[in-house]
C-alpha cells in the first residue's frame, strides 16, 4: 500500500439547517503517499482542526470518504476506528498532553503496552526514541521536570512509539518560542525521516512549512497545492 491517507471530496459543516450554519469543508481532497511530509497551512478558523479530526478518525464528514493506510473507514463503527487510530496513526498536539504522574519513558511505554508490546521491548523502543531526540538522560524525569521543548519532544516519541503509518500534528510547535520551536521541529523532522513516516502537520509558520515535502493550503473549504 503506497498511500497512507486519502481524503476524497470531504464536506463538513456545523449546525446544519440552522441559522448559524457554517460550512467548513467543501470538497476537500488529498492523497499522501508513504514517506511524504505535508504541511497544512490556513488562516485561523479555515478548518485545519476540522480536517485533522476527520483524518484522525475523531470526527466524521457529512460526505466524502476517509481511507487510512488502505482501509476505507468512512462508515466504520467506533471499535474499528479506535483500532485503526491506535495502529496506524500518531497524534501530536500544540500542548503535549503527557501524563504528569509518569516519567518520560513511561509515557512512551504505556501506549505500546496498550497495543500488546511486551514491557522489555517497549522500554527499549522508548529509550531508542528518546536518544534520537537527544533526551536519553531525561528518561526518568516527569513532565513537570522538563522544559516545554523537551516535553514536546517526548510527545513526538510517544506519537511514534507504535510505529504508525501517519503522523497527524496540529501546531506541534505553536506553544514554543521561535528558537525552541526550531530545535523541536528539527527533532521531529529527523525522527520522521529516520522512520520513513508520513506526516500531515498543520502550522502557521510558513518557514517550517517550506521545509516539508509539500505545502497544502486550506482555502474556501478546499485543499490546494501551495508549493
Ligand atoms: N463543534 C463546532 N460547532 C460549531 N462550529 C464549529 C465547531 N467546531 C468548529 N467550528 C467552526 O468551524 C470553523 C473551523 O474551525 P476549525 O477549528 O477547524 O478551524 P482552524 O482552522 O483549526 O482554526 P485555528 O487555526 O484557529 O485553530 C470555525 O469557524 C469554527 O468556529
Helix or strand holding residue 191 (H, E):
helix 178-195
Which distant-in-sequence residues (6+ apart) come within 8 Å of 139 by Cβ? 103, 104, 105, 126, 127, 130
pLDDT per position as a tens digit, 35-52: 999 999 988 889 999 999
Joined grid coordinates for residue 94: 500544540
Instruction: State whether the beta carbon of 118 lies less than 6 angstroms from ligand 1.
Output: no
pLDDT at 220 over 70: yes
**Alpha carbon separation from 195 to 72, 93, 150, 190, 199 (Å, rounded):** 25, 20, 20, 9, 11
Chosen CATH of 3-93+149-225 out of 3.40.50.300, 3.40.50.2300, 1.25.40.10, 3.40.50.10150: 3.40.50.300
User: What ipTM score was computed for the predicted complex, to two decimals?
Assistant: 0.94
Instruction: State whether the beta carbon of 49 lies less than 6 angstroms from ligand 1.
Output: yes
Joined grid coordinates for residue 117: 508490546
Number of Cβ within a 10 Å radius of residue 204: 14
The predicted pLDDT at position 183 comes to 85
Query: Which residue lies with its CA nearest to atom 14 of ligand 1?
Result: 47
Instruction: State whether the beta carbon of 46 lies less than 6 angstroms from ligand 1.
Output: yes
**Alpha carbon separation from 30 to 55, 131, 164, 186 (Å, rounded):** 10, 34, 19, 25
Instruction: State whether the beta carbon of 187 lies less than 6 angstroms from ligand 1.
Output: no
Q: What is the pTM of this model?
A: 0.92
The predicted pLDDT at position 227 comes to 59
pLDDT per position as a tens digit, 106-159: 999 999 999 899 999 999 999 999 998 889 999 999 999 999 999 999 999 999
Query: Which residue lies with its CA nearest to atom 18 of ligand 1?
Result: 47
Amino acid at each position: 500500500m503506497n498511500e497512507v491517507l486519502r481524503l476524497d471530496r470531504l464536506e463538513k459543516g456545523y449546525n446544519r439547517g440552522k441559522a448559524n450554519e457554517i460550512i467548513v469543508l467543501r470538497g476537500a481532497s488529498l492523497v499522501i503517499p508513504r514517506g511524504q511530509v505535508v504541511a497544512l497551512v490556513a488562516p485561523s478558523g479555515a478548518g485545519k482542526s476540522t480536517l485533522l479530526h476527520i483524518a484522525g478518525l475523531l470526527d466524521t464528514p457529512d460526505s466524502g470518504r476517509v481511507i487510512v493506510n488502505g482501509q476505507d473507514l468512512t462508515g466504520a463503527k467506533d471499535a474499528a476506528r479506535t483500532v485503526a487510530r491506535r495502529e496506524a496513526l500518531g497524534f501530536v498536539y500544540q500542548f503535549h498532553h503527557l501524563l504528569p504522574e509518569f516519567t518520560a519513558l513511561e509515557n512512551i511505554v504505556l501506549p505500546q503496552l496498550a497495543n500488546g508490546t511486551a514491557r522489555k521491548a517497549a522500554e527499549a523502543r522508548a529509550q531508542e526514541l528518546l536518544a534520537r531526540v537527544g533526551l536519553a538522560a531525561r528518561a526518568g524525569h516527569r513532565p513537570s521536570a522538563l522544559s516545554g521543548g523537551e516535553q514536546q519532544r517526548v510527545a513526538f516519541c510517544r506519537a511514534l512509539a507504535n510505529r504508525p503509518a501517519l503522523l497527524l500534528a496540529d501546531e506541534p510547535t505553536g506553544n514554543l518560542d521561535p528558537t525552541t520551536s526550531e530545535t523541536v521541529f528539527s527533532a521531529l523532522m529527523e525522527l520522521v525521516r529516520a522512520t520513513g513516516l508520513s506526516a500531515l502537520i498543520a502550522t502557521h509558520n510558513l518557514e517550517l512549512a517550506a521545509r516539508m515535502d509539500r505545502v497544502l493550503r486550506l482555502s474556501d473549504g478546499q485543499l490546494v497545492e501551495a508549493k
